[in-house]
Structure 1
Amino acid sequence: MMKGMKWLLLISVLVVVGATAVGYFWLRLSLPQYQGEYPAAVANPVNLDRDARGYLSITAADRPDAAYGMGFAHAQERFFQMDLARRSAAGTLAELFGERALATDIERRRHRFAERAASALTTFSADDLQLLSAYSRGVNDGLASLSTAPFEYTLLGSEPDLWQETDSILVIYNMYLELQGKMGRDEYAMTILRESIPGDWFSFLQQHSSDWQAAIDDSQVTPVSLPDSPYPEQLRTAGSCSSCPPKDSADLGSNNMAVMGRLTSHGRAIVANDMHLTIRAPGTWYKVQLNWRNGNDWQQVTGLSLAGAPAIVVGSNGHIAWGFTNSTADWHDLIKLQLSEDGKTYLTAEGWQPLQHYYETIKVKGSKDYSLQLQETQWGPVINYGDSTFALRWVAYDSNAVNFNLLRLETRQNTRQALALGAITGIPTQNLLVADKEGNIGWTPLGPLPGRQVNDWDTAQDWSDGSNFWSANLSAENYPQIYNPPSGVLWTANARSVGGEAYRLLGNGGYDLGARGQQIRDSLLNQGQLDEQALHQIQLDNRALFLQRWQQLLLDILTPDVTAEHQLTEYRLLLSQSGRYAQSDDIGYTLVQQFRQQTIEFMFEPLSVLLEQHGSRSAYLKYSLETPAWAMLQARRPDTLPPGFTDWSQLLLQAVLVSKQQLEQQHGSLHDSRWGKQNQAKIRHPLSSAIPIIGDWLNMPASEFAGDRHMPRVQLPSFGQSQRMVVAPGQEQDGILTIPAGQSGHPLSPFYRADHQYWLNEVALPFLPGPKKYQLRLVPAA
């Protein structure tokens, strides 16, 4: 019997080894070619050089051939991710994933981005069309260079479709969805709240925080005081909801900083940028340097590209360096529709107009096609929230929402020239910070700004009488700019950047609270002379300044009597020993963070329930609940006490006890409740959960993260710094550039995880590519 067991064990091992070997050789078939020569559709040879971590350098005779090389490399390394981006925008994910993606496709089809992409292409200049065509040929040839299709398609039982010029436009539309994707949900939530409670309480609950302002024009906001009138009954008796806990803000990120040359050791201005997005494997960005002949000179641009588009998104050309944060301004309006009784027409200033109808067919893998009828108004698509029908007006629907004028940054010579591109660039509007080698810096919105006449930008409005409308997008002379500020520094962090007339042009699309921007500003202003390493350290700053007052409140609650009565001695000791940093080994930070969240949940659960009853959520509100929460805690008025509590001391103590119990249940004990266990990495490949046994191998390790919201180092399990860049134009050898995973989307590539440990351990990788280790030479086909 023992002999039989040994044979069974041996056979099992051989089966596993055999299956592993088969899987390995199958995976190798789709591994990119990194060396040798490949016949290509180029006019002159193009070199694709890679360093030891896969950082790509492209050398070509002209920009179209460089675009071809970029497309070839993107397809080699990232075609599946490119495919997901175009499909996400076009609403064709169900062709790959079947019925599980149908609901997403239905939602995306209302924007008709595939049709808009085809229309946008007809407006492109001849030069841009040539570049886009070269890039698309490069993508398709790069895909054809693989022995088999990328491994994801075999797992899905599908074949990849060829890349079209319109697909690169769809990739930009997908960024609109990622960066401006609220679709009026915020205005619906604000409308429900405004219609449910008195105006003075609405103004108090939804206000900019005067405590955390750090606008780059030094503008301030006036705090709204706690109203004298009683707390609204609607926010005291709305009931409870275990599935809709109130949240004080959405996950927001992206920092950028610019420092004038007079404040740097080498006299050149510096830009630092860390864009915060959902982090996956592979990540959003691809490191590349382009070298091509521009007339009699060689042009070099280094930085980050977005797989699917032929541009360097952020980086340096030796004369200027630039970086972005999401503007988080107001890019949507929700329009209350007045429909006829039969629902076929809607009222406008020109009278009753018929709803337009569009018919779409969604192909669903493994199932029959899904027929979809879309309704649209002159302002935008019909959209339903709760029991109400609206139209959505979104800047993404405008004819100039997408173009490739971002490419013009590659050849700008100074800050002034770069700022002038703001009004003509078609991308989701960003805070552009730019620096030049002469030491100048500047800020402007880069992307379309709608001219708007709307009575209230924050709530749904009736446009039927013509008093509310959008006019043509603003022209260049109306764009706000800041050039060489007296302080010598600029910063943006998704919070309110400017006030006054500039703010009236931008509005509020759900700004971040501002604590992160304030922490960055103070670090910049208090350090004197700055260099690349100093800015990198600001990017990594995880000091818990935002939670300091909450930690003090918590310590004040834990009096000796309370501590003894409720057996909180260990809790108070851990709290007093730490909590000043969001470090992975810090327990005190976890205690404060959890206590604050529980307190806000107790205070605003009725508000959250009220919104939930109307089909909305507190997370969609435009302003953080931190500001009213803190004011109410200081006043501790009996009428603002939520139901179920006899006084504020009871509420706060209960928040301590409940949050402590939650941590003990989650981690086993307080001593095991370090922040890193609470904030553990979930950097995953899109298909890893669908692959048995080896699926987790595609993911990055489940490391414990430092960082959190409301501090420069924004870091959550699957959201945070999608890159870290610091560079001075003309001083690129001192620059820094790191991404969270690696260059390649192929798990057998030496580049799949190449940057991950450096990013995780805060190592500043060089901005420039390292010594060449691999060279693939694309030569003109006979």
Structure 2
Amino acid sequence: MRTIAFVCSSVLTLVLIWALNKSWGSLPPLGKLLSPQHGFWQNAESVNRDFSAQIILPGLAKNVEVWEDERLVPHIFAETENDAAYVLGYLHARDRLWQMEVQTMASAGRLCEILGPGLLERDRLKRRQGMVYGAQNSLKAIERDPVQKAYLDAYTRGVNTYINGLRSRSLPLEYKLLNYHPEPWSNLKTALLIKYMADDLAGAANDLEYTNARRYFSEQDVEQMFPDFTDTLDPIIPAGTPYPAPTKRAVRPADSVLYRDQENLRFRIQKPDPDNGSNNWAVAGSRTRSGAPILSNDPHLGLNLPSLWYEVQLQTPTMNVYGVSLPGAPGVLIGFNDDIAWGITNGSEDVKDYYRMQFRNGKSQYLFNGTYRNAELRVEEIKIKGQASYFDTVAYTVWGPVMFDNTFPDTTTGSGFLAVRWKAHDGTNELATFYHLNRARNYDEYLAALQYFTCPAQNFLFASKTGDIALWHNGEYPLRWKDQGKYIMPGWDSTYAWQGYIPRGEVPHIRNPERGYLNSANQHPTDSTYPYHLYGIYDLYRGKRINEALAPMRGITPEHMMALQNDNKNLFAATALPFLLNNLNESSLRPNLREWYDTLRRWDYVQSPASNAATVFNLWWEEFEKEIWKDDFANKDGAVLELPQSKTTLLWLLRDSAMHFVDDRTTPQVETLPDIVLRSFSRMAIPARKALREGKLAFGKFRGTNINHLAGLPAFSRAGLYTGGGTHIVNATKLRHGPSWKMVVQLGQRTEAYGIYPGGQSGNPGSKYYDNSVDDWTAGKYYPIKVFSRSDKGKYKIIFRNS
């Protein structure tokens, strides 16, 4: 009997060991995950952990000293540039390794490897978009510069030194949960990270949607729906600025008839958030209390944990720079040094065009200028967790990869072959811009640094201790004639190619304007007198609000600038709401609608978290836009279409309140604008009343903000943050999007700086430094930034030695 019991218990033990060390579906091996010695327990970090250490980094030229402050911001003191990069790579990996890797895997179309088959279509899209292709081209450009190559090599060596020292118990928690291990870092991964940002900021294009619109609407309507210029302009370069005659011109094809694609395009892809952008502005010393320039910047991007940015100070004999870095890349991207400060906002230009291709023999040959050329066929192996690999063949043409064909994204809705020409595919070296900006001392050196930055186009704002303020709408902009690239073009005709780029010296820029301030908030860069064609999706109201606030200001302090970054005034609502109320027949309102009318009539247009009126207005405008457009954009045989921007709809109606889209074509009667306004107001009341009953009508409760973990794990996210702001507002905070870093720098004799981002330095959810800044960010607070000297001491001291 004892023998039987022993055998049974032994078998049960073996079965348990086997079961606990096996993955079950999406679950990791529970034995390893729950192990006290190796599992998630090891990621619980003591609140009193001492980060001080002495660490061996083989190959350092000299010892490097690092002080980490009370927020775990490292202040790195190195004797050589490459040693600084080496140590930064190590610290990035120590604090953000999983984030670094998952973002580059997302860029390369490799998420299926770790997250399973549900992301196959997304991975296929990134392969067909040519993300790795573009990264490979950029890496060649980086490594042609021996200084840049050595700098990036040193950074990569630092990442890999940390990875090589990892043991299973010290793996970041996400690796344990997803049951995989980090792979070695490479210079290509850094290039992929840069393309990840290019995709986020310059990856959108509406060529397909606009091409479809031309099939369903008149040319006049399409021009009104998707104008190149918004009616009311407050551009980055002040209106009325004279521009010299262009030295280059785009030559339209001889037939002078724009190609009209006849296919009904049904390809639907997820695009970057249309509000990816930023604010930046600088005020001259003539307007400040101290007499020194002040520069402010807050980039608006998707909000995640771990946060996109990583604060750092780097000091060597040739630089002393502070700001935010991008984990996975060396250097400071936004920040200041002993002499200058700089900030960036998105240029918002469309630099992606689609070409209709004619293929024969499958994907092997395509027509170009009357003859057939061989396509370069790349077989993409997409590894899938728990399944066999998926193989996708991507054809590369003279334009670039064939992004869409009858096998992607859905075999039942394919519409022929479309190749993509994207500026981000070119071999460029954007990292060099930041390398040189980190060390720049004046306007000329700032300008020299910008020459390397081509995509994504950015507004690089500048201020210096010598008193200069300047801005360049910086990038390489295709030389195109009007409407070139707005619609699909014939890929068999080379006359539809880009004809070079706007000459560098003629891109929009300004230095020391007479008015004493500069501002870019993703609005159009120029007025209509600029001689080159720039096309993109631009904001209008944030830039207007910033200029409106700055114009009367004198005696400006950093506190004024922080208050402006947190400004919740909604200029779009200030234009739209009076228009709506003027077209609402008050006497026809039922008693149960009067409360909403009174709420809106009393609103000051400040979209604060406590505002009930902000919620009611946003619900009303949403219903109003549906009433205007839903009947006209419905039943189009699956064609992908884009609604006009809200500002376009509003400005059109202000010009012509009887425009024909007001009528609801699904009803027998002809609706007028007051009819639509009343109908949408009545429909708004349904969700508004529900929110009121549930105690969630205040805007910060109705919408609020969620900062989600990169893998979507709720336990590692911060949800329901009590925030105001939104689209069209200087405080651009939305549900999952907003100011990812806020910085204000006064460049006096002693630099005075403030900053904050919604997260923390650590990527470990078990660390107190994971989200320690979120509540202060939500409350609109800032941290004073202290730039350490070599004699200063922080909270933790790390010495990196070469042996």
Aligned ranges for residues 746-761 of structure 1 at < 5 Å?
A: 746-761=764-779
**1:180 equivalent in structure 2:** 202
Q: Does 1:417 align with 2:445?
A: yes
**1:106 equivalent in structure 2:** 124
Per-residue CA shift, 1:225-268, capped at 9, x if unaligned? xxxxxxxxxxxxxxxxxxx9xx9x93343101011222222333
**2:56 equivalent in structure 1:** 39
**1:582 equivalent in structure 2:** 607
**1:731, distance to aligned residue in structure 2 (A):** 5.5
**2:376 equivalent in structure 1:** 356
Gap change, CA 1:55 and 1:760, over 3 Å in 2: same
Match of 2:620 among 585, 589, 595: 595
Match of 2:555 among 529, 534, 537: 529
State the one-letter code of the partner of 2:55.
Y
TM-score, normalising length: structure 1: 0.86
Gap change, CA 1:779 and 1:54, over 3 Å in 2: closer
Match of 2:342 among 322, 340, 349: 322
Q: Does 1:779 align with 2:796?
A: no
**2:569 equivalent in structure 1:** 543
**1:162 equivalent in structure 2:** 184
Aligned ranges for residues 649-664 of structure 1 at < 5 Å?
A: 649-664=674-689
Whole-Å Cα distance in 1 between the matches of residues 325 and 471 of structure 2?
Answer: 21
Gap change, CA 1:480 and 1:586, over 3 Å in 2: closer
Q: Does 1:66 align with 2:84?
A: yes
Q: Does 1:86 align with 2:104?
A: yes
**1:403, distance to aligned residue in structure 2 (A):** 4.5
Gap change, CA 1:710 and 1:115, over 3 Å in 2: closer
Whole-Å Cα distance in 2 between the matches of residues 120 and 496 of structure 1?
Answer: 28
Per-residue CA shift, 1:301-329, capped at 9, x if unaligned? 01110000002001111211100011001
**2:457 equivalent in structure 1:** 429
Per-residue CA shift, 1:180-226, capped at 9, x if unaligned? 222x4x011111112322222222222256554211333389xxxxx
The 3-state SS of whatever aligns with 1:450 is coil
Could you tell which deviates more after superposition, 51-60 or 263-272?
263-272
Whole-Å Cα distance in 2 between the matches of residues 285 and 710 of structure 1?
Answer: 24
Whole-Å Cα distance in 2 between the matches of residues 498 and 388 of structure 1?
Answer: 37
Match of 1:310 among 326, 330, 344: 330
Match of 1:739 among 754, 757, 769: 757
**1:647 equivalent in structure 2:** 671
Does the Cα contact within 8 Å between 1:454 and 1:469 map onto a contact in 2? Answer: no
Per-residue CA shift, 1:325-374, capped at 9, x if unaligned? 11001211121223458664332226322332111111111111111110
The 3-state SS of whatever aligns with 1:283 is coil
**2:5 equivalent in structure 1:** none
**1:730, distance to aligned residue in structure 2 (A):** 4.7
**1:164, distance to aligned residue in structure 2 (A):** 0.9
Aligned ranges for residues 111-510 of structure 1 at < 5 Å?
A: 111-123=129-141, 124=143, 125-147=145-167, 148-182=170-204, 184=205, 186-207=206-227, 210=230, 212-219=232-239, 250-294=274-318, 299-340=319-360, 344-349=364-369, 351-384=371-404, 387-400=415-428, 402-452=430-480, 456-473=484-501, 476-500=504-528, 502=530, 504=532, 507-510=534-537
State the one-letter code of the partner of 1:140.
N
Gap change, CA 1:376 and 1:716, over 3 Å in 2: same
Gap change, CA 1:33 and 1:211, over 3 Å in 2: farther
Whole-Å Cα distance in 1 between the matches of residues 517 and 567 of structure 2?
Answer: 18
Does the Cα contact within 8 Å between 1:348 and 1:465 map onto a contact in 2? Answer: yes
State the one-letter code of the partner of 1:635.
A
Does the Cα contact within 8 Å between 1:267 and 1:438 map onto a contact in 2? Answer: no
The 3-state SS of whatever aligns with 2:800 is strand
Per-residue CA shift, 1:249-308, capped at 9, x if unaligned? 9334310101122222233322110000000112111111111123xxxx2101110000
Whole-Å Cα distance in 1 between the matches of residues 200 and 335 of structure 2?
Answer: 21
**1:8 equivalent in structure 2:** none
Structure 1: 5+ residue stretches without partners: 1-17, 222-243, 690-694
Could you tell which deviates more after superposition, 20-29 or 318-327?
20-29
Aligned ranges for residues 611-622 of structure 1 at < 5 Å?
A: 613-618=638-643
State the one-letter code of the partner of 2:622.
Q
Gap change, CA 1:499 and 1:346, over 3 Å in 2: farther
Per-residue CA shift, 1:706-733, capped at 9, x if unaligned? 1011110111111000011111335564
Match of 2:633 among 608, 619, 623: 608
Gap change, CA 1:20 and 1:278, over 3 Å in 2: farther
Whole-Å Cα distance in 1 between the matches of residues 504 and 532 of structure 2?
Answer: 16
Whole-Å Cα distance in 1 between the matches of residues 36 and 552 of structure 2?
Answer: 58
Aligned ranges for residues 551-590 of structure 1 at < 5 Å?
A: 551-556=577-582, 559=585, 561-563=587-589, 565-578=590-603, 580-590=605-615
**1:519 equivalent in structure 2:** 545
Whole-Å Cα distance in 2 between the matches of residues 684 and 338 of structure 1?
Answer: 43
**1:647, distance to aligned residue in structure 2 (A):** 2.8
Whole-Å Cα distance in 1 between the matches of residues 606 and 662 of structure 2?
Answer: 35
State the one-letter code of the partner of 1:316.
F
The 3-state SS of whatever aligns with 1:663 is helix
Whole-Å Cα distance in 2 between the matches of residues 611 and 626 of structure 1?
Answer: 24
State the one-letter code of the partner of 1:523.
A
State the one-letter code of the partner of 2:541.
A
Whole-Å Cα distance in 1 between the matches of residues 581 and 156 of structure 2?
Answer: 60
State the one-letter code of the partner of 2:723.
F
Per-residue CA shift, 1:718-749, capped at 9, x if unaligned? 10000111113355642111101111111222
Gap change, CA 1:670 and 1:635, over 3 Å in 2: farther
Match of 1:729 among 702, 725, 747: 747
Per-residue CA shift, 1:363-397, capped at 9, x if unaligned? 11111111111012110111338624321110011
Whole-Å Cα distance in 1 between the matches of residues 87 and 746 of structure 2?
Answer: 26
Gap change, CA 1:639 and 1:75, over 3 Å in 2: closer
Does the Cα contact within 8 Å between 1:741 and 1:752 map onto a contact in 2? Answer: yes
State the one-letter code of the partner of 2:292.
R
State the one-letter code of the partner of 1:747.
P
TM-score, normalising length: structure 2: 0.84
**1:422, distance to aligned residue in structure 2 (A):** 2.9
State the one-letter code of the partner of 2:768.
P
State the one-letter code of the partner of 2:189.
D
Task: Please give the root-mean-square deviation of Cα atoms over the aligned residues, in Å.
Answer: 3.0
Gap change, CA 1:128 and 1:749, over 3 Å in 2: same
Does the Cα contact within 8 Å between 1:583 and 1:675 map onto a contact in 2? Answer: yes
The 3-state SS of whatever aligns with 1:568 is helix
Structure 2: 5+ residue stretches without partners: 1-32, 242-267, 406-413
Gap change, CA 1:113 and 1:703, over 3 Å in 2: closer
Whole-Å Cα distance in 1 between the matches of residues 800 and 338 of structure 2?
Answer: 28
Does the Cα contact within 8 Å between 1:519 and 1:712 map onto a contact in 2? Answer: yes
The 3-state SS of whatever aligns with 2:320 is strand
Could you tell which deviates more after superposition, 376-385 or 534-543?
376-385
Does the Cα contact within 8 Å between 1:253 and 1:493 map onto a contact in 2? Answer: yes
Gap change, CA 1:395 and 1:660, over 3 Å in 2: same
Does the Cα contact within 8 Å between 1:422 and 1:445 map onto a contact in 2? Answer: no
